[in-house]
Structure 1
């Protein structure tokens, strides 16, 4: 088929811009029959009827919605380095507050920001919801029920304008940090300072180091399209409100291959404190992965782990980490670094998961803002039926 009039057709590049996808995605649409390409006489490349492109751009539930790649201006992982909107994450973690980094991810502007707000009525509601849970409930369990309760109490939760979303996210974070069991702390203190007494399991002769927690929160705020972030973006694609987006992220984060990773590394270090080589030998014998080592993206080092190890300095747990690292063919990742922080300062065994969840709310919010600006319901992937047809 050939094109009759160029004014009624778009090039591949023009289609990609109109649909807010990459050219490769346009080619995928053609291969799946979602779009039909034509040839223009005397011209190279494919053309697409404007009417077909506009029909695809305006569809919601009707189109397949399959997304092979998601464009994002938030986080870059390149050459074993990590950047938020083009800025070095290790540098941000040691020079900026979580509030400022959140503002950077949400708006693109890096400026000093006030502490996350604390509203007493919201804190009381969150604590009442948490109190319903059994004593054995983890901190992340408490965060999930608190988010659900706060959502039900917010009549404006369906306002998806960017300013409404960032205001709700700031309030949500301030409320959750304050509502977790333990001393309330000063609302003007850093998140790490407010969280320190809540996450400390036992009395310690060591002075508090809340800057470690602040660094963890910044380092874990976002990490590209991790599974929980994809879940959050899918919810946002359906135009779910921010609380529902966060709930979707928290649900995916609860998996053993994602949010539980810091706890598994903590348990491994707990065994390794007394016998590093014995703990390593046990893992090698069973053929199971060594918790807290290696990464799917990084090849030689995890920049987030290096920041935390530097901050820990000569803490005794670092000798354990070094002993194991020298006997493996891999490198310690952020999960092991968080576990090392937990052991060095006697934090609760579930503190790592809670820090992970609180930090990632910042990233989920940023991804939700991007998704709200994209065409709706674009994650409806085509399924392949593998069952049988039953006779009537």
Structure 2
């Protein structure tokens, strides 16, 4: 691929161990200037450049660019709405589609396993057949920690505890070099899956050819008692791939803030999990699950949709602020679910919800509704979609952490707009009133 200036894309490129190279376009975005100005910096000796592979365009040392950005006082971009916007080369969302490093994310998810997409997102290199494995000590520590939780604990509770337990077994967790972070990430994700208690029959440690099962096959028995079939596994694996990243969603922003403070990758993932549990984020699929289950029980979507609207609740699984049409993740999963015979009733109920709820307003299905079809039709618990979301998004948080570690630290430190009482105020007293305090004297006007 080439960037807008003709330079070969090398966002994950290296020029020697640990030295990341940026394209002309990336350098210009980081400095907040036009590509022509980048070459002016080169001519003035403020930046050095190398010819890109193939002789098209130039590449620049990320550390040199960062140092120049600090010297020139370049500030982050602001979105048209006035909100801060941070440059990222991971995910682009535009025209009702989204892309991982410039490649259509739905195409990647349809054609590659979750681990392959994660590796692509982290390194820009596709590694067919790659499998992530959990170290024995991390797996054992995570399982012991999760087993100590109360039986009513949710899956996100278990995942948060598993992350902390896994971190304690990794003495290299404070090493923020690219290779160390990648090594930890490749072991953390399967550790999280291994830590979840099995409901069904667990996948074998390795197939007859000695190759470990993919992450979707390992996750399946943690979600349902039903035996795995290839069509359902394809839906789960595709869902994992689709959900890896979605630009700066709330949990991803939290993860980047942690990485900006140079928190280690396990702490970054913990930050993301803490935000994910909100009902407006990862837990939204559980609401859609319950709605679909009720629609199946009552024989149609109309009374269920009416109940939601009558009580002032929004209808789960519909609409997305970043898409004017159907969420591309939902469309991809719906097409795969059509190949699963057991999914037909839930899929029809989901379509009934869309038809009923959008009779007077232009809303479309989002990924939460598609996850609900998978969870309802597979006999999974309502929180299964949240589990899938959390496991999948861990790879995205790591990708953003890797990117953030290359930025200057603590850049995500906004200033508060104080709206409280203006100082000086008297010291408060124990009864809740305010007094001048023993070291102040007050005079009354004469």
* Aligned partner of residue 134 in structure 1, secondary structure: coil
Larger CA deviation: 211-220 vs 311-320: 311-320
After superposition, where does 1:1-392 map in structure 2 within 5 Å?
Answer: 20-22=30-32, 54=71, 56=73, 68-182=84-198, 183=202, 185-187=204-206, 188-200=212-224, 202-203=225-226, 209-275=232-298, 276-313=301-338, 315-329=344-358, 330-388=363-421, 389=423, 390-391=425-426
The answer on whether the counterparts of 1:76 and 1:84 sit within 8 Å (CA) in structure 2 is yes
Structure 2: where are the runs of 5+ without partners?
1-23, 35-66, 75-81, 207-211, 427-439, 441-446
Structure 1 residues 384, 345: CA separation in 2 closer, same or farther (over 3 Å shift)? Answer: same
Q: Normalising to structure 2: TM-score of the pair? A: 0.73
The answer on whether the counterparts of 1:67 and 1:381 sit within 8 Å (CA) in structure 2 is no
The answer on whether the counterparts of 2:29 and 2:87 sit within 8 Å (CA) in structure 1 is no
**Structure with greater Cα Rg:** 2
The superposition leaves residues 246-291 of structure 1 with CA deviations (integer Å, 9 ceiling, x where unpaired) of 0000001011111111111111111111231110111121232100
Q: 1:23: how far off?
A: 5.7
The answer on whether the counterparts of 1:235 and 1:248 sit within 8 Å (CA) in structure 2 is yes
Q: Normalising to structure 1: TM-score of the pair? A: 0.82
RMSD over aligned Cα, in angstroms?
2.6
Structure 1: where are the runs of 5+ without partners?
1-13, 25-49, 58-65
Structure 1 residues 51, 167: CA separation in 2 closer, same or farther (over 3 Å shift)? Answer: closer
2: CA distance, partners of 1:172 / 1:52: 34
* Aligned partner of residue 273 in structure 1, secondary structure: helix
* Aligned partner of residue 415 in structure 2, secondary structure: coil
1: CA distance, partners of 2:70 / 2:352: 59
* Aligned partner of residue 274 in structure 1, secondary structure: helix
